[in-house]
């Protein structure tokens, strides 16, 4: 299982978040996480998607600096990296032919703050803007390692 990489691309729309959760369930189960931990990671994944959907909608088809997403929401690419020690999720967002969404802002309020606090507790590592093109990265360790 070491070094296995998978990728899911979904439209950044509310109705597709459940598909991302289903995919995650399969991947995390394969990695050897128990049921409760898989439920925790599912919540963390959804919280990131919720925020990114909010960001994309809030931009009203435009990103700061002028690039346009157009009528369709951008895609969200979720990368699953499996190792013997952990599962890492990387999120990238971009219009099919356009620029990537600027950032996963850290100055969250209200429900977003609730979501951020959940991610912080449920995941072992959580990075905002960890590298160019990647808006969020988070990691969960396998307990037996």
Partner 1 sequence: MSSGLTIKEKEEESAVQIEIGGEVDIYTCQELKDKLYQCVDQSGKDLVLDCRNLNYIDSTGLGVFVAVLKKVKLIDRQITIVNLKESILKLFLITKLDLLFAIKRGEVAHSEAK
Q: Give the footprint of partner 1 on this chain (CB under 8 A).
A: 14-15, 17-18, 21, 36, 39-40, 42-43, 46-47, 49-50, 53, 110-112, 114-115, 117-118, 121-122
Minimum gap (Å) between residue 17 Cβ and partner 1? 6
| Cβ count near 6 (within 10 Å) | 13
Token pair, residue 76, equals 């969200």
Minimum gap (Å) between residue 111 Cβ and partner 1? 4
Q: Decide whether 25 or 83 has the Cβ nearer to partner 1.
A: 25
Task: Give the helix ranges, DSSP H, for 16-142.
Answer: 17-31, 35-58, 110-122
Q: Decide whether 34 or 68 has the Cβ nearer to partner 1.
A: 34
Identify the burial level of 144 via C-beta atoms within 10 angstroms of its C-beta, where 0-12 means exposed, 13-18 middle and 19 or more buried.
exposed
């Amino acid at each position: 299982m070491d070094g296995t990489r998978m990728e899911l691309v979904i439209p950044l729309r509310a109705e597709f978040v459940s598909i991302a959760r289903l995919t995650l369930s399969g991947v995390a189960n394969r990695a050897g996480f128990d049921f409760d931990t898989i439920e925790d990671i599912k919540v963390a994944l959804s919280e990131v998607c919720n925020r990114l959907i909010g960001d994309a909608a809030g931009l009203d088809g435009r990103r700061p600096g002028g690039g346009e997403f157009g009528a369709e929401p951008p895609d969200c690419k979720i990368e699953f990296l499996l190792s013997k020690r952990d599962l890492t999720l990387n999120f990238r967002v971009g219009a099919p032919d356009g620029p990537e969404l600027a950032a996963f802002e850290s100055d969250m309020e209200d429900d977003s703050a609730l979501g951020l606090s959940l991610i912080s507790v449920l995941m072992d590592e959580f990075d905002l803007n960890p590298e160019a093109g990647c808006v969020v990265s988070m990691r969960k360790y396998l307990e037996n390692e």
